[in-house]
């Protein structure tokens, strides 16, 4: 800190403090991801490419951007002009086919459960029918039932 004061004369001239103002040390409660429109990306990328090497950093500082974003935007632009710049970074969302497959698998599982229940009901009905038939045969042959 003393070297900075010696170079610039004072802390205020070094940009650490602005006179009577105290720096805002409050941290925002939750960070939010910045999103950039394709037109903005194209405009900044074109401006970045036009600037001489010494002024490119000033553009990045002014816009609050990092060189890695410029690098990523170049790759996107090479992939297809404005369409490439509108591509989102990171993992792509689930495919519509994946949703359809999951829905069909769930429907298939519900069908299997219903089939299992139906098979049990049919089996029980068969047993009831067989028992009813045996009871009716034994009622016909029972000596007490005939007068």
pTM of the model: 0.38
> What is the rounded average pLDDT for all residues in the chain?
77
User: What is the reported pLDDT for 96?
Assistant: 84
Greatest mean pLDDT among 7-16, 70-79, 89-98 lies in 70-79
Q: Which residues of 75-112 are buried (b: 16+ CB within 10 A; e: fewer)?
A: ebbeeeeeebbeeeeeeeeeeeeeeeeeeeeeeeeeee
Per this entry, what is the length of the chain?
147
Contact 77, 46 (CB under 8 A): no
Torsions phi, psi for 47 (to 5 deg): -65, -40
Q: What confidence category does residue 74 fall into, taking pLDDT thresholds of 50, 70 and 90?
A: confident
Q: Where does 11-66 have alpha helices with state H?
A: 38-50, 53-63
Share of the chain above pLDDT 70, in %: 69
Which residues have C-beta within 8 Å of that of residue 18, sequence separation ≥ 6? Answer: 12
- pLDDT surpasses 90 at 136: no
User: How far, in Å, CA of 12 to CA of 33, rounded?
Assistant: 32
Q: What confidence category does residue 85 fall into, taking pLDDT thresholds of 50, 70 and 90?
A: low
Rounded mean pLDDT, 63-92: 75
User: How far, in Å, CA of 1 to CA of 8, rounded?
Assistant: 11
């Amino acid at each position: 800190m003393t070297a900075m004061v010696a170079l610039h004369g004072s802390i205020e001239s070094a940009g650490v403090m602005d006179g009577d103002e105290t720096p805002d040390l409050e941290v925002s409660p939750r960070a939010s991801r910045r999103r950039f429109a394709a037109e903005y990306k194209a405009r900044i990328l074109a401006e970045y490419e036009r600037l001489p090497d010494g002024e490119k950093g000033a553009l990045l500082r002014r816009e609050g951007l990092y060189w890695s974003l410029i690098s990523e935007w170049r790759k996107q632009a090479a992939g297809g002009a404005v369409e490439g710049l509108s591509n989102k970074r990171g993992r792509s969302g689930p495919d519509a086919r994946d949703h359809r497959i999951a829905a069909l698998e769930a429907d298939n599982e519900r069908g299997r459960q219903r089939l299992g229940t139906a098979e049990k009901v049919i089996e029980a009905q068969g047993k009831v029918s067989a028992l009813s038939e045996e009871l009716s045969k034994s009622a016909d042959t029972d000596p007490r039932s005939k007068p």
